[in-house]
Structure formats: structure tokens, C-alpha cells
Structure 1
Amino acid sequence: MRIALLLSAWLFCLGAHAAPVNVATLDRGTWPENLSSPALFDVASRAEILMFAHGLLASEALDEPALKQRLGLKNINLVSIDDLRRQLWQRLLDNYTFAQQSCEQDASFCYLVENMDDLREQAGKFEVSDNSFYIGWAGPSSTFHERYLDELLRKAALFPQISSEIARFGDHERNGDELNDRLFLLTFDGGPASISGNTDWLADYLRKQKINAIFFALGNSLQARAEKSSSANVQALYQGQCVGIQGWQYRSHSHWVDWQSSITRSASLTQGLLPENYLPLFRPPYGQRRPDSQGFFQSQGLQVALWDIDSEDEAGKLKADESANRVLTLMLLWRRGVIVFHDTQDKARVALPWLLHATAQSGLGWQDCREAFR
């Protein structure tokens, strides 16, 4: 039975990954204003919400064959796609409601939206005129949101056969939905890096900024770091930060026979090595985990920590500045959420300072890692 299930999953994956997806990014230099006040953050937020909603509405006109062609997939889960669309519309309505609270200070992109019908109507007729102050942003933003929507729809189309952060399997899984408006949580995956590497730099930088984050560590990397230095060195590395686990190796935990021991072994090591920093949170590599794993996680006292703002900073994807621009655009669109970088990549050392500088006066906040996912 196990072999049959694995073969079925493999065949589905083979048919699913028929075409690559262009990773969405947007040059924030096309936006003509700095985010130098909460009101100006809201202006940019309203614009991104309406542009994404415009593309989302247009996508609903596609029938199944057209949607398969657009996503480059042979098989799609229409029920999962419909569920995602409903969630996206509700999130967009909530976010636009927050964003329009400053319309008296700046009326740009302010339209009468009191309910879902209003939002869909405004999304359908949304356009930026050729003589608009924002015309230089409109085209690049439209392209960004079309590509980003395709990323989301593609993950939904493959779910749950290929699990990802696009949806939750139960209440034991958290993705930051409960965060307040303008509140964001920083997270880092795949570390720790080698001694004096990116993890050291990022943790020190965050401390200097009086911000903290959750670093999701791999058991083998954490053990190697402790063996090459000392337990005290590792404790100093993560001073003031929070540490969760990603398993023993950075590999999918959805079809790995030893996935449970990968998690328990890592949790035991991390909790013993970093008792002041450890949080009982598991971040699944690639977002992949088993749909029937709720009982296991609950028995271990663990929650699954997902994310909703992906920097796409892995090797071979976006450059550092493109990653930073992508994150900021998604912060404007979603207005709250869990941001994921990789502390084994040099890109975060460029993207994070730029991001903090660009949003310093915009009225947003950074979630204390010790209060996250409670």
C-alpha cells in the first residue's frame, strides 16, 4: 500500500510539474512615492489590492482547459482552487477596509467599498489612466500580480497531492492569519550557516535593530555548528532570537519514511541546546508535510508554522534587490503576515536592511517572536 501511494504521488508530480513558473517581482522604483507615512503606506496598499483583485476576477472567467493551459498543468484540483479564491477575496476585502481608513488624508485609489459586491465591482473596472501620476507603476504591477496569482493558483491546483503553504491541514497549523493589521513576523529557514556566516550577521543585525525573528534550524546543521564551536557559541549566536525546527535535513517531510524521527530528533537537540530560545514549532521544508500528521504533531506538543510572504531568495531564483522588492509588494498587498527568508543565503543580508529602511516611517510593526503563533 505504501509503495502504491508513493508511486501515485510520483506520477501526479510528474504530470503536475509540466512547466516552470516565472517568479513574481516588482521594481518598487516604479511607485512614485516613498512610504514615508502610514497614509502613504495605505495609498500603495490600496493600489496593490485593487490590481491583484482585478487579476483575480479576470482569472475566474477561465474554464478548466484554459486554466490548465495558463498554469502549465495536466491535472488541477478545482475544489482547492475555489477554496483559495474565496479566501483571497475575503482577505482582500478585509485589507481594503483597513487601507481605506486613511482616505480622508489621501484619497488616491479610494472607492466606495462596503462589501464583497462593491469590491468585485471596483476590481472589474479598475484601471490607471495614461495621464495618472501612477501610470509608470501600473503596467509592472499588473504583470507582477498576474505572475503572483499564478504562483498561488498553481499551488492550490496541486494541493493536497503536493502540499505547500497554500492551505492548512488543521488547527495545529498556523500561518499568521491571526496577526493584527500592519504587523509582520520575520522568519529564516535552512540554518544555521557556517561559523561567522549569514546567520551570525543576521542575528547580530536584528539585535542592533531591536527586532527579533524565528530561525528555523536544521538538526544536522545545528549539531555540526555546536561540534565545530561550542554550545555556548551557539547560544550566543541566537541570543534574543527564537529558534524552531525544520527537521534533521532540508528535505520534503511528506513522503520521507523517517519524517517523524527527523522531527523528534531535531526537537530534542534544539530544546536541549537552546532552552531559552526554543519554540515548539516545525517549519516544513518546501511547505511539504503529510495531511494525516495532526495526531503526531499534537502528541509531540508541536505546531506547524507556515508562511504567507515568500521572499523567493533561494539560490537560482531572485536577486537580492528583487527579493526585497517582492516582499515589500506583498506586505502592501496582505498588510500582515509571516515573511520567510533563508539565512544560508547572502541575499537576506541585502534585502532585510533595505526592507527595514523602506518601511521605517510607514507605521507597521514587527511581531515579537516569543508571542508568535500563540
Structure 2
Amino acid sequence: MRIALLLTACVLCLNAQAAPVDVASLDRGTWPEQLSSPALFDVASRAEILMFAHSLLASESQDDAALKQRLGLKIINRAATDDLRRRLWQRLLENYRFAQESCEVDASFCYLVESMDDLREQAGKFEVSQDSFYIAWAAPSRTFHERYLDELLRKAALFPQISSEVARFGEHERNGDEFNDRLFLLTFDGGPAPASGNTDWLADYLRKQKMNATFFALGSSLQTRVERSSVAEVQALYQGQCVGTQGWQYRSHSHWVDWQGSVTRSASLVQNLMPENYVPLFRPPYGQRRADSQGFFQAQGLQVALWDIDSQDEPGKLEADESAQRVLTLMLLWRKGVIVFHDTQGKAREALPMLLQATAQSGLGWQDCREAFR
């Protein structure tokens, strides 16, 4: 039985990798206004919500055959894609209600939305006229949201055989859903980088900005940093920051025989090295973890920390400016949540300052890493 399940998972993995969807990014230069006030953030937020809702509504008319063709898959979990759509609609309605609170200040993209039926109606007829101040944004945004929706639908179609951040397995898994409106948590995966590298730069930059983030460290990389420098230097590296674990190696924890050892070994290392910085959070590489792991994580006193805003800054994905613009667009769409960058990648060094500069006057808040997921 275990062999059969592993073979099925391998087939699905190959199926998933056969026709990857294009990674979505949007040139924010097509939007004609700076996000220089909370009200202008809301204008852009309303626009992105309506455009995404328009794409989401259109996708519901596709049958299984059309959806398989669209996503490049031979097998789909229709129940999971339907559940994803339901959750997306609920989030969009909540977000639009927040975004329309400033309609008295600026009425752009303001429509009467009091119920789900209202939102679906407005999404169905949403269109930007050719003489609109926002026309240059419309077509690129439509493309972005169609591609981004494909990313989400594809992950849902493969869930739970290939797990990802698109859905949770239980209450022990957290993704920022409970955050207040306009509140975001910065997180970094895959580190630490070698000494004097990207992790050092990012942690120092955050301290200068009087900000913090959660760094999910790999046990093997952290052990190497200690061996090549010292405990004191590693402690200084993460001063003022939070450190969780991503396991001992950056590999899927869904079918790895020693996945439990990977989690416990790396968590013990972080906790022993940096008890003041340690947070009891595990970030699964690739978002992949076992559906039956809740008991294990609860016994270890750990929560699984997922995300809902992916920078796509890994090698072969987006460039730094594209990554920053993708994150900003998703912040406008989701209005709260967990942002993930990779501190081993130089792209984050460019993307993060761009992101902070673009949102400096927009009324956003940055979640203290010590308070997140308590």
C-alpha cells in the first residue's frame, strides 16, 4: 500500500511539473497613482479585488475537461478546486468591504457591495472603459490575475496528493488569515546564507528600519554557519529577529522517511542556539507536509507556518523588481497576510526596499514576529 501511494505521488509530481503555469507579475508602473495615502491604497485594492473576482467568476464556467486543459493536468481534485473558490470568494468579499470604507474620500472603483451576490454581480460586469484614467492598468492586471488564479487552481487541483500552502490540514497550521486588515508579516526561507551574505544584509536592513521578520532556518545551513564562525556571531546575526525552522534540509517533508527527525533536530538546534529568538514554527519547504502530521506537531509544541503572498524570487522565477511588484499587487488583493522571500537569494535585497518605499505612506502595518501566530 505504501509503495502504491508513493508511486501515485510520483506520478502526480511528474504530472505537476510537466506543464508549469506562467508566474504572475504585474508592472505597477501601469497604475497611474502612487500609494501615497490609505485612501489611495484602497482605490488600488478595490481595483485588484474586482479584477481578480472577474477572473474567478469566469473560471467557474469551465467543466473538468476544460480545467484540465487550462492547468495542463491529466488529473484534478475538483472538490479541492471548488473549496478553494469558495474560500477565495469569502476573502474577496471581506476585503472589498474593508476597501470600500474610504469610498467617501475617493469613489474610484466603488460599487454597492453588501453581499456575496452583489460582489459576484459587480465582478461579472466589471470593465474599465477605454477613456478611463486607469486603462493602461486594465489589460496587464487582467493577465496577472488570470495567471495568478491558475497558480492557485493548479495547486488546489493537486491537493492533497501534492500538498502546498493553498489549503490547511488543521488548526495547527497558520497562514495569517486571522491578522487584522492591512497587517503583514515578513518571512524569509532557506537560510542562513554564508557569512556576510544576503541573510546578514537583510537582518541588518530590518534593524535599521526598526522592523523584524521571521527567518526560517535550515538546520544544516545554520550548523555550517556556527562551525565557520561562532555561536556569538550567529546570535548577533539574528539580533531582534525571530527564527523558526524549515527542517534540516530544504526538501519535501511529505514523503521523506526521516521528516520527523528533520523537524526535531533543527528545532532543537535553533532553540539551543538562540532561545530568545526562537519561535515554535515550522515552515515546510515547498509547502509540502503530511496530512496526518497534526499530532506530531502538537506533541512537539510546533505550529506549521504557511504563507499567502509568495514573492516567487527563487532562481529561474521572477527578477527582483518583478518580485517586488508581484508582492505589492498581492498585498493590494489580500490586504493582510504572510509574505515569503528567500534570504539566500540576492533578489530580496533589492525587492524589500522597493516594497517598503512603495507602501511607506499607505497606512500598512508590519506584524511583530513575536506576536504572530500566538
Report the TM-score when normalising by structure 2.
Answer: 0.99
Match of 1:222 in 2: 222
Match of residue 188 from structure 1: 188
Shift of 1:14: 2.4
Structure 2: tracts of 5 or more residues without a match = none
**Pairing 1:298–2:298 present:** yes
Q: Indicate if the aligned counterparts of 1:53 and 1:89 stay in contact, CA closer than 8 A.
A: yes
Residues 207-241 of structure 1 deviation map (CA, whole Å, 9 limit, x = unaligned): 00001000000000000000100000000000000
Matching of residues 56-95 of structure 1 within 5 Å: 56-95=56-95
Q: Judge conservation of contact 1:16–1:74 (CA < 8 Å) in 2.
A: no
Q: Distance in 1 between matches of 2:321 and 2:167?
A: 28
Tell me which residue corresponds to 1:24: 24
Matched with 1:152 is 152
Aligned to 2:104: 104
Following TM superposition, by how much is the alpha carbon of 1:96 offset from its aligned partner in structure 2, in angstroms? 0.2
In structure 1, distance between residues paired with 2:268 and 2:314: 28
**2:8, 2:321 → 1: CA distance?**
40
* 1: CA distance, partners of 2:13 / 2:218: 26
Q: Does 1:236 align with 2:207?
A: no
Matched residue, 2:259: 259
RMSD: 0.6
Aligned to 1:10: 10
1:308 matched residue in structure 2: 308
Larger mean CA deviation between 281-290 and 16-25 belongs to 16-25
CA distance in 1, matches of 2:232, 2:178: 35
| 1:316-339, Cα deviation, whole Å (9 max, x unpaired) | 100000000000000000000000
Alpha-carbon shift at residue 8 of structure 1 (Å)? 1.8
**Deviation at residue 9 of structure 1 after TM alignment:** 1.1
Cα deviation, 1:59-113, whole Å, max 9, x if unaligned, reads 0011110010000000000000000000000000000000000000000000000
Q: Which residue does the alignment assign to 1:318?
A: 318
Matched, 1:372 2:372: yes
In structure 2, C-alpha distance between the alignment counterparts of 1:79 and 1:116, rounded to whole Å? 21
- Aligned pairs, number: 374
2:285 aligned with 1:285: yes
Secondary structure of the residue aligned to 2:338 is strand
Contact 1:18 1:74 in 2 (8 A): no
Aligned to 1:41: 41
Distance, in Å, in 2 between the alignment partners of 1:12 and 1:111 is 42
Equivalent position of 1:327 in the other structure: 327
Inter-partner Cα distance in structure 1 for 2:368 and 2:6: 40
Amino acid in structure 1 at the alignment position of 2:254: S
Q: Shift of the alpha carbon at 1:7?
A: 1.3
Q: Which amino acid aligns with 1:69?
A: Q
The 5 Å alignment of 1:118-157 reads 118-157=118-157
Counterpart code for 1:282: F
CA distance in 1 between counterparts of 2:360 and 2:17 reads: 40
| In 1, Cα distance between equivalents of 2:63 and 2:115 | 26
For residue 370 of structure 2, give the secondary structure of its aligned residue in structure 1: helix
CA distance in 2, matches of 1:73, 1:190: 29
The corresponding residue for 1:273 is 273
Whichever residue aligns with residue 94 of structure 2, its letter is D
Structure 1 runs of 4+ off > 6 angstroms? none
Looking at structure 1, the residues matched to 63 and 2 of structure 2 have their Cα atoms a distance apart, in angstroms, of 35
Secondary structure of the corresponding residue to residue 243 of structure 2? strand
CA distance in 1 between counterparts of 2:11 and 2:360 reads 48
| Conservation of the 8 A alpha-carbon contact between 1:243 and 1:278 | yes
Give the superposition deviation at 1:16: 3.5
1:361 CA drift (Å): 0.2
Task: Give distance in 2, aligned partners of 1:362 and 1:16.
Answer: 38
Deviation per residue, 1:328-352 (Å, 9 max, x gap): 0000000000000000000000000
2:10 and 2:251 map into 1 onto residues whose CA distance is 16
Q: What is the DSSP-based 3-state SS (H/G/I as helix, E as strand, rest coil) of the residue aligned with 1:361?
A: coil
Instruction: State the Cα distance separating 1:4 from its structure 2 match.
Output: 2.2
For residues 77 and 190 of structure 1, what CA distance do their matches in structure 2 show? 30
For 2:207 and 2:259, how far apart are their aligned partners in 1? 33
Equivalent pair of 1:16/1:75 in contact (CA under 8 Å) = no
Q: Which amino acid aligns with 1:159?
A: F
Q: Give the Cα separation in 2 of the matches to 1:108 and 1:342.
A: 36
